[in-house]
Structure 1
Amino acid sequence: MGTKVTLTADHMSGMKGADATISGAFDTTAYSISYTPTDGGQRITDHKWVVHEELKDPGDAPLEAGTEVVLDADHMAGMDGAEATIDSASDETVYMVDLTMDGMKMTNHKWVVESEIQPAK
């Protein structure tokens, strides 16, 4: 916690190359998912990431690609209660990070995985 890193993830505009501070680290399975938001928005494909604990009654990890799940996560609008499909699974350490991106400060941003960070320069 508190470690300074540089993000290599490009989940959203301005993220790649952003400086961040680790605010939490978890040993769990992270999933890339595709889902249709419950608020009527367009289908989201290959959303990275939700963790195993953010799925309703998921059973044992890891889940296989193609598994249908219900989300119990709220880090994006329309996510909680949405039906989703597992696209892929990652068995890396999962991090929450604090960062400022394009002038917007984010605290406890969920999630980036080990391969999406590097030591700060």
Structure 2
Amino acid sequence: MKKNHLIIGLLALLTTMVLAACDGNEESNPNGDANTETESNENMDMNEEGTEPNENTDEKESDSMEGMDHSGMNHSSSGEVPEDLAEAGNPTYSVGSQAIINANHMEGMDGAKATIDGAYNTTVYAVSYTPKNGGEPIKNHKWVIHEELENPGDAPLEPGTEATINASHMEGMDGVTAMIDSAEQTTVYMVSYTDTETGKEVTNHKWVTEAELSPVEG
């Protein structure tokens, strides 16, 4: 009988120790799965925040090119200019000289070395319009000169003025009514260059402003 009592006592003691150990583990991590879930959510938040800069960058790039789809643009021209367009007497970049284009009116232009085909004193406009053959509205198209507008009157036209375009730089442009976005009196250049993206030759391109050109170094 004494042996049985001893065995029962030992079993009770072991059971008490096991229960105490279990209680201790629960107290050391009272939240259990809740902590794991919180850490998981925090990691997800960090990942989402990490993607925001790229998304914002893409959005800014998209905004900067809004309305600037020039896939229908006539990169080259015949070289003909309006009869009343005045040649520049002493342009910064003389006809036959070379300059670097610092403009991204379309792909393959920025950074290209251009040959000056013509230099003219005029007023240039950035314009917005809807192509007459349909398609999305074109915003802030660069450039149309004063002499390419129908009966424009005296230059410069104020931003917000409507005018009819008599030029075909882009498909669906000729004959449309455009809104003047900005105006600048300057020297404009007709240039020829090699497209930096495709390697194709672009001849008598209209137009590049003096501010969009820089000297060829060396």
TMscore range, shorter length = over 0.9
Q: Which amino acid aligns with 1:41?
A: G
Q: Which amino acid aligns with 2:151?
A: D
Structure 1 residue ranges (4+ consecutive) displaced by more than 2 angstroms after TM superposition? none
The aligned residue for residue 106 of structure 1 is 202
Q: Higher Cα Rg: structure 1 or 2? A: 2
- Provide the alpha-carbon RMSD of the alignment: 0.8
Q: Which amino acid aligns with 1:111?
A: W
Q: Which amino acid aligns with 2:164?
A: V
Does 2:149 correspond to 1:36? no
The aligned residue for residue 67 of structure 1 is 161
Does 2:101 correspond to 1:7? yes
What are the superposed Cα offsets for residues 16-64 of structure 1, whole Å, 9 maximum, x if unpaired?
Answer: 1111001011100000000111111211101000000100110100000
Aligned equivalents of 2:131, 2:203: Cα separation in 1: 23
Can you give the 5+ residue segments of structure 1 that lack an aligned partner in the other structure? none
For this pair of structures, how many residues does the alignment match? 121
What are the superposed Cα offsets for residues 48-97 of structure 1, whole Å, 9 maximum, x if unpaired?
Answer: 00000100110100000000011000121111001100000111100000
Q: Which amino acid aligns with 1:83?
A: T
Q: Which amino acid aligns with 1:106?
A: V
SS of alignment partner, residue 92 of structure 1 = strand
Q: Which amino acid aligns with 2:207?
A: W
Aligned equivalents of 2:200, 2:100: Cα separation in 1: 16
Aligned equivalents of 2:187, 2:177: Cα separation in 1: 25
* Range with bigger deviation, 79-88 or 36-45: 36-45
Q: Which amino acid aligns with 2:110?
A: K
Give the alignment's TM-score, normalised by structure 1.
0.96
Aligned equivalents of 1:6, 1:69: Cα separation in 2: 32
Q: Normalized per residue, which structure has more helix? A: 2
Can you give the 5+ residue segments of structure 2 that lack an aligned partner in the other structure? 1-94
Does 2:208 correspond to 1:119? no
Give the alignment's TM-score, normalised by structure 2.
0.54
SS of alignment partner, residue 214 of structure 2 = strand
SS of alignment partner, residue 93 of structure 1 = strand
